[in-house]
Amino acid sequence: MTYCVGIKLDAGLVFLSDSRTNAGVDNISTFRKMIIYEKPGDRFMVLLSAGNLSIAQSVREILQVEQLKEKDSDSPITIWNATSMFDACRVLGQAVRHVYDRDAKSLQQAGVEFNVNLIFGGQIRGEGMRLFQVYSAGNFIEATPETPYFQIGEYKYGKPVLDRVLTPETALDEAAKCALVSMDSTMKSNLSVGPPLDLVVYEVDDYQTDKVVCIDMQNPYYRMLHSSWGQKLREVFDSLDDPVWDDSHTETPLMAGNSGRSKPLRKITRPEERLI
């Protein structure tokens, strides 16, 4: 399993991935899930992958040379000459289908599902930044201001903090912090997600970045974030009032009168009673 997140903001893009690959409790390995494609001054793109490792590695290898031609007379489109991120993502989708056509039948015969999920984002000179999620069929969706991020892999534990914090106006450093908290929450609850972590932050219209870091558990910032987040969560939890079950005075009664359609559960006390 793995966990990856890509975030699109007005100020730029944030990408974060773990590197743990789990093929059983006694077979845990480290494989990087992120790759950066950069042509300074012209284009910057990042690909994150989750799912079957062999499929993801094949897609990444093929993507660098994949050519998209809708008509024989057309010049081939690659990720290196595409004039839009949409076209570059179409090339990625074709690379996924290329691997599917080659491997899906053999995988099925071996009882293995063709499973790969990808996040692909960046900026090509001449247009704004874009962020996509690509599925196993090669189709994709694009991030919007209402949903400015995508997650793939073991995403459920890290989703709440993203939903509460992120908006398109969020600053890049704050978004990077939010992504790391999301990853920390995921690693706390799921052993199949683990270090080292790859973090990339891209500023809009730069077409390159030097904000690329590999984070292990000895990283001073991550150690501070890990301990502080757990401590602050506990402090907030302790600051909340406990529920009051008796007639003691409280401004926030738990057993308040029911004003809606839902009523407390009815107890069954005899064999002949029915719920309805």
CA distance 87 to 119: 15
- Quick one: pLDDT at residue 48? 97
Contact 76, 66 (CB under 8 A): no
Strands of 197-203's sheet in order across = 149-153, 3-8, 12-17, 197-203, 211-215
Domain ranges of the chain: 3-233
Look at the alpha carbons of 116, 117, 121, 124 in this order and tell me if their dihedral is positive or negative: positive
Q: Could you tell me which CATH number the domain at 3-233 has?
A: 3.60.20.10
Query: HSE-up of 257 (CA within 13 Å, CB side)?
Result: 1
pLDDT interval class at 28 (50, 70, 90)? low
- Mean pLDDT for 65-74 is 80
Instruction: Band the pLDDT of 208: cuts 50, 70, 90.
Output: very high
Query: What pLDDT, in 10s, does the model give residues 143-158?
Result: 999 999 999 998 898 9
What is the per-residue pLDDT for 126? 96
Candidate from 28-32, 165-169, 205-209 with smallest mean pLDDT: 28-32
What is the model's pLDDT at position 23? Answer: 47
Cα 132 to Cα 253: distance, rounded to the nearest angstrom: 45
Count of residues in the chain: 276
- The confidence score (pLDDT) of residue 75 equals 87
Question: Which tens digit of pLDDT belongs to each residue from 173-191?
Answer: 999 999 999 999 999 988 7
- Alpha-carbon distance of 68 to 64, in angstroms, equals 12
pLDDT tens-digit series, residues 124-141: 999 999 999 999 999 999
Q: pTM of this prediction?
A: 0.89
Whole-number Å distance between alpha carbons of 217 and 235: 24
Q: For residue 186, which phi and psi values (nearest 5 degrees)? A: -70, -45
